[in-house]
Chain A
């Protein structure tokens, strides 16, 4: 898994590529925690390049989103497709997170 963060005007865009699994999901938490600690309110996770996510990854997304919500912020997802999208749909997390096709659409809501 590779994580690349870009600071934008209203949010931080976090591009996640590869496989998010039991061995590396904590890296996503850590990357997000650094931004949350610095006062970032909105994180947009661009998951276009995400090929695989297991329940450990879902756990990370939920935990980050709950932290942001309690700080009056949000975790917005975009680019979900393939197996990761199926996993989010099966667990009905699509309705729990704001989900957009593209990061531009996500940014437009902020």
Chain B
């Protein structure tokens, strides 16, 4: 990470999402992310944090740490870490987007949206922590399309 790393730890719950979002928005704005791209950043954070609260910790609860730093001139690196059970949301099968209304599955769209909005995303298990790290594009267009 090129700039100082900022970190925030809060309970893994839906109620923490808006505070995490404000926290990372500060870094995104300072790094030059356009105002109309901030909603995508909110969405990426929400989808990941909801997964942590729902799958890594349920039924118990725990803490989640969000850290970010500017990584190079046009990228924001964000890492989300929890101490829950081993859970890699990126391992899930992609949703079938070709199905009609009656057969459309209701789950699985969150991770799909996350992948669509970031340049890259990786999962690793390190020292009893699940760590998801993603690169959010500052110029507004994910390299992967």
Contact = CB atoms under 8 A, between A and B. Distances in A.
Interface residues of A, number: 24
Interface residues of B, number: 25
A96 B14 contact: no
A55 B109 contact: yes
Contacts of A87: 43, 113
A34 interface: no
A52 B21 CA distance: 13
Interface stretch (B79-87, B96-104, B119-127): B96-104
Interface string B9-33: 0000011010000000000000000
B72 interface: no
Interface of B: 14-15, 17, 36, 39-40, 42-43, 46-47, 50, 95, 97-98, 100-102, 104, 106-107, 109-110, 112-113, 116
Interface of A: 21-23, 51-52, 54-56, 58-59, 62-63, 65-66, 69, 82-83, 87, 90-93, 96-97
Q: Ordered nearest first, which 9 A-B pairs have the shortest CB separation? A: A55-B110, A92-B97, A83-B39, A55-B109, A22-B14, A54-B46, A23-B14, A22-B50, A96-B101
